[in-house]
Amino acid sequence: MEKYWESESPMTITTGSNVLQYYPVAEKLSVSRPGWTDADGNERLGKTVALNIEALLESGVATMEAAREVFANIIASIDARLELLGKEG
């Protein structure tokens, strides 16, 4: 079985504390701690968890409504921060 992270190129967003990778075909959103380099000089991905969007969409109405509220709050925070940065710049 092919691993989605090996067959699909994600949209990657890197912040100071997280790496978000969105795989639209696989319907997954992963959140990782920043990468690091091991003692042999190999680059390693930080600890990662993935949200299975397909499973979320197959949940009950109450679960999807709760998830929608979480994501709406995140979007509102991003919009407010972008507005603030727009006024500063």
Contacts of 43 (CB under 8 A, 6+ apart): 35, 36, 37
The pLDDT of residue 81: 93
Residue ranges of the domains in the chain? Answer: 1-58, 59-89
| Cα radius of gyration (the chain) | 16
The pLDDT of residue 48: 96
The pLDDT of residue 75: 96
pLDDT tens per residue across all 89 residues of the chain:
789 999 999 999 999 899 999 999 999 999 999 989 999 999 998 999 999 999 999 999 999 999 999 999 999 999 999 999 986 65
CA 23 from chain centre, in angstroms, equals 9
The pLDDT of residue 88: 60
The pLDDT of residue 2: 85
d(CA 49, CA 68): 19
The strand pairing partners of 19, in sequence order, are: 14, 32
Token reading at 76: 């509102």
